[in-house]
Structure 1
């Protein structure tokens, strides 16, 4: 056999051998330390205390997740506008800064499963006879929400045909009209409304009635840990840890320090 022919057959054989032997899978990273970025300016979720230490629901939750993942947890403070950029440039490994899971953000980063959501809730006057939150139960009622929010859209789409929907420049204006008897109910973010109810004079005016059925099409998917797309192993670790602490009660112990209602 000519040398050139032998080389051709030999190269072809090597090529077939390469196809037959699967490429070695990239080695999974052994995570020992996870650097978590947060803003530190959004209480009670993340903030700095008098000693300039990071505190808050997300900081406590992050520490519990790291303990469950058996890794060292290092929190770093970062301006909101730099969070995604810093993650992608490997300045830290994860974001826990009340970053909502959206399709737009998914184009740049990955997300863990949801670790909290802000429940929508209907608030009514303390002396109200409203008994339910379905469109039928609120038929003919005057309903309020902050304009240009998911709550406004929800009321307009599901209640607007049979109820009067009034929109306000901010949530406080809607809540005040409820207190003054100009509305029968308002729909808003339960966390924000809880703060409003604790301000003093208005606290006795109103009460929560119930949450509407949670619909991600209106209220979003919630808030997750932001991660680099390449770190799928770390995403799975966070997913497993979130599920674990929610199942055994650790999550609720942390949540109760900040909220008297479920945010899962």
Structure 2
């Protein structure tokens, strides 16, 4: 009878915690290994810093989870999640229907417009007509690559793919491409400091395409981790309600990045 009771209790625990006690071992938080300031980058001492890093720290503290940052190359981050190498993706990943076929997402934790930044010396806007004949840089395996291929590639512009956003920005500064497409929040940081502010300027927000650009950034999770998703959703709601979210945001941005 005692063994039966233990088995029932263990089975109930598996149901409640989705197959594992969330606090039994560290939660591996996957961040993109490539720098993406002001969200995540390495400082001079080799420590990860940025808005998204502080956001994750606040979430884990609120949920009382032991979390460990685990850098993963961006183009392999979803396979790493599903292979169990990480437990959560925290890398400004847009919530899209295509990605939902592979993974689950938490609630949105920020949403940024998508814009074009280009050389001051080149006249352009964010429309297909405005980019005709130009070279546009985007990061590989992102919604920006998908959007650019659909709306600008071919007869409109030459779309050049980069493994990191930083590489695209470096080529723009060097004049090897005419423009880049990325989230407004990240590009604002690029334009606020040299050499971005010297060479380049905002050219316009791209027309929205929710099917590609998604509904904002969410934490990526395996489809069988419902309990962890619920825990993180509750933590997102809590830090927005108690002011911690706004406190972190004010250190990096002059506006509310959560979005309407």
Superposition TM-score, scaled by structure 1 size: 0.59
C-alpha distance 168-79 of structure 1, shift in aligned 2 (>3 A): closer
Question: Gaps spanning 5+ residues in structure 1: where?
Answer: 1-22, 158-163, 178-182
Cα distance in 1 for residues equivalent to 2:204 and 2:79: 39
Q: Does the 8 Å CA contact 2:105/2:220 hold for their aligned counterparts?
A: yes
Instruction: Tell me whether 1:242 sits opposite 2:256 in the alignment.
Output: no
C-alpha distance 91-248 of structure 1, shift in aligned 2 (>3 A): same
What aligned pairs does 1:71-220 form with structure 2 within 5 A after superposition? 71-80=64-73, 83-121=77-115, 145-146=136-137, 149-150=145-146, 152=148, 166-167=157-158, 169=160, 188-189=181-182, 190=184, 191-192=186-187, 194-196=189-191, 198-200=193-195, 203=197, 207-208=201-202, 211=205, 214-220=208-214
Cα distance in 1 for residues equivalent to 2:241 and 2:208: 21
Partner of 1:28: 16
| Dislocated runs of 4+, deviation >6 Å | 173-177
The match for 1:61 among 55, 62, 66 is: 55
Paired residue secondary structure (1:115): strand
Total equivalences in the alignment:
224
Question: Gaps spanning 5+ residues in structure 2: where?
Answer: 1-10, 162-167
Q: Does the 8 Å CA contact 1:47/1:55 hold for their aligned counterparts?
A: yes
Paired residue secondary structure (1:113): strand
Superposition TM-score, scaled by structure 2 size: 0.60
Displacement of 1:76: 3.4
Q: Does the 8 Å CA contact 1:99/1:225 hold for their aligned counterparts?
A: yes
Cα distance in 2 for residues equivalent to 1:31 and 1:72: 7
Larger Cα-atom Rg:
1
